[in-house]
Structure 1
Amino acid sequence: MEPGGRRRREQQQRLRRPRQEAAGYYRDHRVPQRMEEALNALFPQRPADLYGELANYFSKFSKAPVICKLVGRKVLDGLGQPALEVEIYCTVKNYEKRICSTVISSHSQIPENALPETTEADEQGRNDSVNTAVEWVNEPLNTMLRDLEPTDQCKVDKMLGEYFTKKLEEKKELQKQEEEDAEATLALTSCTPSVTSLPGKKKAAKPGKKGAVAERMIPPAEPAESVLCGSLAIAGTSLAIARAGATISHIPLYLHIALLKHDQDSPKEMTLPLPMVTLLNCEKISPAKLKLVKEVMLIPPVQLSLKQGIERVLDIQKEMMRLLDTPGEAPNSQAADSRKGKAHNTGKKAPPRALKRISHLGCLITGWDNLEQPLLLMQTACNNIGLELGTDVYLAINCAAHELMDYAKGKYEILTGTFKSPDEIVEIYVELINKFPFIIALIDPLRKEDRQQWSDICCALGSKCYLIAEDAATYISKLKTDQNINVPMCSGVVLKYINQTKVSDLIELTGLLDGQRHITILGSPDGESSDDSLVDLAVGVGARFIKLGGLSRGERVTKYNRLLAIEEELAKNRTLREANLEFIAFAEESQSEKQLSDVIPPPKQDSLPPQ
């Protein structure tokens, strides 16, 4: 026998043996005929990675991954404040595997001008809340969610909601018991109970006071909603499960959220939210006089891609920094008319130099002496680089009016020593927008309690700019009352994913906002981490704007980079739809006692000025 023929027969037997062994093994174990045929077809093809091909094929028939472990730990956010990290481990093909993790920052509503002891107490409270949240994740939530599929978001969120409700009831029972004990102790020591009031809030005037007291009859501030210690675990776990579900399904998080919102019906096109990029943070406790403005933000036009819009904002930012470094080149403040003469410093004084530090919002910190100074400087910066406000870029102003109210006087302190009633401040905004029509959004122009003035300003300016409620929309759990939105009349709200918020809550609320013709803005909390899930949430729920802060600090820039990556991916897949900005003309009649859903007529759409 020729040596060559023997070698050929041995080689054929070696090639035939694994095929025969595999076919015999699976036949003995009663594998379906189609699997055997698939195996027979694979071996003659000789794939480069035979075992990888087999693994991919049989993975289709493996058991769906289930949650096997949750790990919570305390980490730090961009401000060095405590934050919660939640890791998800799943059993995948009989092996424990780390799927993903999310970081969620604790939220604070302490204003900039808070007393040191108030700030210290808030920091201690946030620290305790994160520690409790870590305990919740590692013990009860870890046991409760074990063996659930991470793709079943509704079931997971329902269980998280039931757990939170249970904890909330336990807290109420404990508080009730403490109050009963305190009343019993007080009854033994004194027969006259003390009357308590909210610190800093003006009590209702009593009969017999002077006529001037009538000006101070404003709606009192609603008490801040108490946050259950540890509630951060609910939001962190829900978001981590959503990210795990997207990872298991091999799709990006924003598409996973969109599928959840549209009942697994994949959208043919998606729109990116327009960024509200913070350019200046105007400190209300700075030596300058202006208090009415907290943030000055830029909004690129819809005709530009996000990448082009960010580049344009960066050009304006560079020119602004140059002007602030050379005060002599900055425009002088023009004299105000007679109506605003008392509210502004009318002298030709150059704006203060920018302080050489970056705000926690990722932008320059500076101060101003009147409302026109930053707007005129912005106009000069744009003109210097060949841009025009109102055509090539728009402005938005965050007023944070809830931080301005002097409850002793019942008025807003818009400048140092200058106070205006809620009705007067509405007139100031009307005059401001008429004079500077490139301002297309006012955020928190009034307190949420001034519902009549919200109605007035919406009727006066609703067709010219967006009137956005942020402070009134901090807690998603309070926004929804049955099928209505429990906020003053406004164009839209800023939603923040914090505390006990769940992904299902956010999806449900944004659907309700869409149905009632509100616009949705997703905003980042003050203490922000480098986790970029917020961007995917905004894209997935179809938010109109996203408010991320400035283009500095890593925790802020990370989210802008994620937004750019999503734009590139959608453009590549040809599923990117151009955004559309339209204002709503509100009813002329003010009905402050009704909710927005009851008073808005079918909207009359007015487009922005042509580009």
Structure 2
Amino acid sequence: MSYQGFISRLSQEEHDFYEIKNAAAEFYRVNRVPEEIERALNELFFNKPEDLHGYLANYFTKLSAPPRISRVKGREVHDAKGQLTVEAEVFCIICNKEQSMSSASISSHFGPKETSLQSKERGDHVMTAVQWINQPLNNLLKDQNPCDQSKVDLILSDFFMACYLEEKNLRNREREESRSPESDVVLPSPPPAQTKDKKGVDKGKKSNTAEKPFHPPEPAEPVLLGSLAIGSVSLALAKTGAQIQGIPLYKYIAALQNQEAPTRFHIPLSLVTLLSCGKTSPGKLSLLEEVILIPKVGQRIKQVLHSSAALCIITMTLELQKEMMRIMNTSTKSGAAQAVLCDRGAPAVSYERPEQPLDLITEACSNLGLALGTEIHLALNCAAPELMDYSKGKYEIATGVLKSPDELVDMYQALISKYPAVVALIDPFRREDTNQWEKLSNVIGDSCSLLSDITYKPQAPPLPGVRGHILKHMNETTVSDLIRITSEQQGAVLMGTTCNEPCSDESLSDMAVGLGLDYVKLGGLSGAERMTKYNQLISIEEELAQQGMLVSKEKHPPPLFPEEPQEQSPAAGCTA
């Protein structure tokens, strides 16, 4: 008698104990089922006869082989801007049946200066990532436990490192082969001729005022073709593990980080892009890539039902943007340009000086009765590393306006003094300008926090005066990498979108909650790819509130991240 036949007879609701017992005995005799199963059935018949089928289903499921990865599949898809990216899908064998479990697609980054002319390079990256997933990664991950995140991430990272070293060795060999013996001979150059101008001053001699040394840029590591496959597969496997265990992704990630499932969660405060003034904006100002709204601590993402005491974060941001648009539109008669919607999901304004967008926000808050500096604060994403003119050794903060690193320190100090609601600066300098980082930190004191993007250099030495770090989930970054980095770095902020690469996967909201972060940056409030993340954060907030697991995170007043105590090591500040 087959197992299906045995279950079929049970499904006929034969409630007579002896008939069911005889059917079970016949099944045991033919299939030689272990005695412990018979004892379990005896317990069922005597204690829970009304739960016959549910009990048997659960019991035999526990006896089945544990889930294992059967294959991973990569495919080319299009992101929110219509550009090519890769999606990873995970298939598992569960109860002897292959099932499609989860898929994921993360943000991509192919270099510091991405343009539309690089579409061929983008296609090469995506095509290689798909090949990685469908061939070598598929073979490496087959039969692995999908719930062992650390092991599968180690397999992914080891594979990436092997490919990286192979590519690096290949580049070194090509560089050596391209060097001719004649190119190694360096002829001494004659000393500069010393001529005199009309005033009799030697032009060849150096002036008494010595110029400060300008540090050259750190060599940028090229983005490895196919690296996008690593982060996508890692996230898809994390979603698979959560699905198998029957828990939300944020609880699954929290258990991975804390080695056990926590009983309390807090919702990270959303940093919302309010205005855009970067290179893609219509105006001359390039310095302030984003002006970011920081809501009051404890403010809900969604309006609490029957509560009108305070606007929720989303409603408040939209009202503020609406008022700013009204002000700009009424000012067009005096020569000001109207704002346009940019890729970051926020209005892009046409300005020439950094004070102008801050004056606009101040006026809009005053008109709406919002206490700027109390109910809301501001952060400035300066994105200064992208503004350096290396031929002149200065930052081009606006078209034709150049400032040295020291002049930029003075400008930031003046802005923070004039606008005390600005409590954070993101990437105000290049990493190479360590003296200016330290100088700015000293002059602004505790009134403002300096944040640095460590996405591409998580192992780089800390910059002086930095209290928080921006981190994006992209390319070869695995879920285990995010857990490790956010545990080691003080004041980590997970950024959901890069400047030009929005991602529609709502899992970033789960990761921010699961990692226990204080802040998360999800972009502006325009575009489905961004609102999906905000809606997921709202769903998590409501779910935790219903379960009695939501707690309010008591934060220090601005700046965002208080200075770390002297006796505490830099790696000890964990935001979880």
Report the TM-score, using the length of structure 2 for normalisation: 0.85
Map residues 383-394 of structure 1 onto 2, 5 A cutoff.
383-394=366-377
| 2:370 partner SS | coil
Aligned position for 1:18: 20
Deviations, residues 346-396 of structure 1 (Å, cap 9, x unaligned): xxx6643213xx211111222212222211211221222221111121111
Alignment pair present for 1:490 and 2:490: no
Of 75, 78, 83, the residue aligned with 1:81 is 83
For residues 492 and 69 of structure 2, the distance between their equivalents in structure 1, rounded to whole angstroms, comes to 36
Alignment pair present for 1:352 and 2:337: yes
Alignment pair present for 1:499 and 2:503: no
The AA in structure 2 aligned to 1:474 is: T
Deviations, residues 205-246 of structure 1 (Å, cap 9, x unaligned): xx9575499547321111222111111111111111111111
Aligned position for 2:313: 309
Q: Is the 8 A contact 2:488 2:571 kept in 1?
A: no
The AA in structure 1 aligned to 2:429 is: L
For residues 602 and 88 of structure 1, the distance between their equivalents in structure 2, rounded to whole angstroms, comes to 36
Alignment pair present for 1:474 and 2:450: no
Of 355, 362, 366, the residue aligned with 1:372 is 355
Of 421, 424, 429, the residue aligned with 1:446 is 429
Q: Is the 8 A contact 2:111 2:223 kept in 1?
A: no
| 1:221 partner SS | coil
Aligned position for 1:335: none
For residues 146 and 99 of structure 2, the distance between their equivalents in structure 1, rounded to whole angstroms, comes to 13
For residues 19 and 260 of structure 1, the distance between their equivalents in structure 2, rounded to whole angstroms, comes to 44
For residues 164 and 150 of structure 1, the distance between their equivalents in structure 2, rounded to whole angstroms, comes to 19
Q: Is the 8 A contact 2:107 2:475 kept in 1?
A: no
Aligned position for 1:254: 250
Q: Is the 8 A contact 1:469 1:493 kept in 2?
A: yes
For residues 132 and 314 of structure 2, the distance between their equivalents in structure 1, rounded to whole angstroms, comes to 40
The AA in structure 2 aligned to 1:480 is: Q
Unaligned runs of 5+ in 2: 1-12, 188-202, 303-311
Deviations, residues 144-167 of structure 1 (Å, cap 9, x unaligned): 111111110111111112211211
| 2:526 partner SS | coil
Aligned position for 2:237: 241
Aligned position for 1:510: 486
The AA in structure 2 aligned to 1:550 is: G
Aligned position for 2:71: 69
Aligned position for 1:572: 546
Aligned position for 1:299: 294
Shift of 1:562: 0.7
Q: Is the 8 A contact 2:70 2:142 kept in 1?
A: yes
Alignment pair present for 1:135 and 2:131: yes
Alignment pair present for 1:461 and 2:444: yes
The AA in structure 2 aligned to 1:71 is: K
For residues 89 and 291 of structure 1, the distance between their equivalents in structure 2, rounded to whole angstroms, comes to 46
For residues 496 and 259 of structure 1, the distance between their equivalents in structure 2, rounded to whole angstroms, comes to 21
Q: Is the 8 A contact 1:222 1:449 kept in 2?
A: yes
When structure 1 is superposed on structure 2, of 432-441 and 455-464 the one drifting more is 455-464
Aligned position for 1:5: none
For residues 125 and 42 of structure 1, the distance between their equivalents in structure 2, rounded to whole angstroms, comes to 66
Deviations, residues 300-339 of structure 1 (Å, cap 9, x unaligned): 111311212222112212222222222269xxxxxxxxxx
For residues 258 and 212 of structure 1, the distance between their equivalents in structure 2, rounded to whole angstroms, comes to 60
| 1:280 partner SS | strand
| 1:508 partner SS | helix
Aligned position for 1:336: none
Aligned position for 2:272: 277
For residues 74 and 209 of structure 1, the distance between their equivalents in structure 2, rounded to whole angstroms, comes to 61
Shift of 1:487: 4.2
Map residues 196-211 of structure 1 onto 2, 5 A cutoff.
210-211=206-207
Aligned position for 2:143: 147
Aligned position for 1:35: 40
For residues 270 and 350 of structure 1, the distance between their equivalents in structure 2, rounded to whole angstroms, comes to 50
Q: Is the 8 A contact 1:290 1:370 kept in 2?
A: yes
| 2:420 partner SS | coil
Change (3 A) 1:410 1:216: farther
When structure 1 is superposed on structure 2, of 532-541 and 92-101 the one drifting more is 532-541
Change (3 A) 1:400 1:71: same
When structure 1 is superposed on structure 2, of 301-310 and 553-562 the one drifting more is 301-310
Shift of 1:285: 5.7
Shift of 1:137: 0.5
- Could you say what the CA RMSD is over the residues aligned between the two structures, in angstroms? 3.1
For residues 329 and 27 of structure 2, the distance between their equivalents in structure 1, rounded to whole angstroms, comes to 79
Q: Is the 8 A contact 1:412 1:421 kept in 2?
A: yes
Q: Is the 8 A contact 1:216 1:411 kept in 2?
A: no
When structure 1 is superposed on structure 2, of 373-382 and 251-260 the one drifting more is 373-382
Shift of 1:39: 3.6
Map residues 334-353 of structure 1 onto 2, 5 A cutoff.
351-353=336-338
When structure 1 is superposed on structure 2, of 297-306 and 31-40 the one drifting more is 31-40
Q: Is the 8 A contact 1:587 1:601 kept in 2?
A: no
For residues 211 and 406 of structure 1, the distance between their equivalents in structure 2, rounded to whole angstroms, comes to 24
Q: Is the 8 A contact 1:276 1:548 kept in 2?
A: yes
| 1:542 partner SS | coil
Change (3 A) 1:177 1:102: same
Change (3 A) 1:179 1:320: same
For residues 14 and 130 of structure 2, the distance between their equivalents in structure 1, rounded to whole angstroms, comes to 61
Of 524, 529, 533, the residue aligned with 2:503 is 529
For residues 208 and 283 of structure 1, the distance between their equivalents in structure 2, rounded to whole angstroms, comes to 41
Q: How many residues align?
A: 531
| 2:408 partner SS | helix
Q: Is the 8 A contact 1:462 1:586 kept in 2?
A: no
Of 515, 524, 528, the residue aligned with 1:554 is 528
When structure 1 is superposed on structure 2, of 293-302 and 416-425 the one drifting more is 416-425
Change (3 A) 1:14 1:77: same
The AA in structure 1 aligned to 2:71 is: K
Q: Is the 8 A contact 2:69 2:91 kept in 1?
A: yes
The AA in structure 1 aligned to 2:287 is: L
Shift of 1:99: 0.6
Aligned position for 2:195: none
Shift of 1:42: 7.2
Q: Is the 8 A contact 1:216 1:408 kept in 2?
A: no
Change (3 A) 1:43 1:304: closer
Deviations, residues 68-87 of structure 1 (Å, cap 9, x unaligned): 01000111111122111010
The AA in structure 1 aligned to 2:329 is: D
The AA in structure 2 aligned to 1:551 is: L
Deviations, residues 104-161 of structure 1 (Å, cap 9, x unaligned): 23214444xxxxxx73553322221111111111011111111111110111111112
Of 325, 328, 331, the residue aligned with 1:324 is 328
Change (3 A) 1:12 1:81: closer
Aligned position for 2:378: 395
Deviations, residues 532-590 of structure 1 (Å, cap 9, x unaligned): 1111111111222211211011111111111111111111222222234334566999x
Change (3 A) 1:479 1:21: same
